Amino acid sequence: SYELTQPPSVSVSPGQTARITCSGDALPKKYAYWYQQKSGQAPALVIYEGSKRPSGIPDRFSGSTSGTVATLTISGAQVEDEGDFYCYSADSSGNHWVFGGGTKLTVL
Amino acid sequence: VQLVESGGGLVQRGGSLRLSCAASGFTFSGFWMSWVRRAPGKGLEWVANINQDGSEKYYVDSVEGRFTVSRDNAKNSLYLQMNSLRAEDTAVYYCARGAYLYVWGQGTTVTVSS
């Protein structure tokens, strides 16, 4: 079955740039989506169709894809950005979807 | 836009449960809908989705044949019928709008006891 691979954790100091990667064989043809889940809350979409930001998401969040790797970049990370981040995409058939294993972002 | 899940609870292994998701604030019949779960100590897992008229349904392999997703557009509601429940189905279950999960509910907890 299809898999997306993320690093388990990323840690940065406030104001630094955090980069979270997501590797998957179908990413050259399928968009990546990114979600943030803070403790005790439902997940929230932060990037869709690889690089687009929903309304209300700060512009320090950006997304990109190069080959089989999608990257979520948080430029000037803030303490309130801490949480678990997940990439999400479809397999080559487009009918089955999968999340990456999740990356815990620590900002301190 | 609001999604409210209900129907979670404690059930014995091998039992059944039906989750519901009530949608409001948007044209429910115009969107794919999805179910996602998060087991304790684990990450998010896509469970199933369904197209606008219910004619297309897709499932993660681990629930295929045990879970059934359905919808009632007249009632603005999404459902997940879960049969032959296993301990590993214990999770918070979320409904979300779209195949791309643009909006999420707050979740309902399912606990399968062994």
Q: What is the average pLDDT value for chain A, to the nearest integer?
A: 97
CA-wise closest residue to B91 among B49, B50, B35: B35
- Please tell me the total number of residues recorded for chain A in this structure: 108
HEC string for chain B: CEEEEECCEEEECCCCEEEEEEEECCCHHHCCEEEEEECCCCCEEEEEEECCCCCCEEECHHHCCCEEEEEEHHHCEEEEEECCCCHHHCEEEEEEECCCCCEECCCEEEEEEC
* pLDDT at residue B114, as a whole number: 85
The label of the residue with tokens 């930001």 reads: A53
Question: What confidence tens digit (pLDDT) does each residue in B51-90 have?
Answer: 999 999 999 999 999 999 999 999 999 999 999 999 999 9
Chain A positions in Cβ-Cβ contact with residue B61 (cut-off 8 Å): 1
Taking the C-alpha atoms of residue A87 and residue B94, their distance in angstroms, rounded to an integer, is 17
Cβ atoms within 10 A of the Cβ of B59, count? 20
Question: What confidence tens digit (pLDDT) does each residue in A73-90 have?
Answer: 999 999 999 999 999 999
Taking the C-alpha atoms of residue B16 and residue B31, their distance in angstroms, rounded to an integer, is 27
Q: Please tell me the number of Cα atoms within 13 Å of A76 on its side-chain side.
A: 3
* Inter-chain touch B94–A1, beta carbons under 8 Å: no
Instruction: Name residue A84's beta-bridge partners.
Output: A37, A104
Of B46, B105, B106, the CB nearest to A98: B46
| The residue type at B72 | D
Cβ atoms within 10 A of the Cβ of A69, count? 15
Question: What confidence tens digit (pLDDT) does each residue in A38-57 have?
Answer: 999 999 999 999 999 999 99
Residue A13 has pLDDT above 90, yes or no: yes
* pLDDT at residue B50, as a whole number: 97
* Inter-chain touch B101–A37, beta carbons under 8 Å: no
* Inter-chain touch B101–A54, beta carbons under 8 Å: no
Q: What are phi and psi of B9, to 5 degrees?
A: 165, -170
* pLDDT at residue A70, as a whole number: 98
Which chain A residue has its CA at the smallest distance from B95's CA?
A42
Taking the C-alpha atoms of residue B1 and residue B3, their distance in angstroms, rounded to an integer, is 7
Check CB contact of B2 with chain A, cutoff 8 Å.
no
* Inter-chain touch A33–B101, beta carbons under 8 Å: yes
Q: What is the mean pLDDT of residues B97-110?
A: 96
* Chain A contacts to B (CB-CB under 8 A): 1, 33, 35, 37, 42-45, 48-49, 54, 84, 86, 88, 90, 95-102
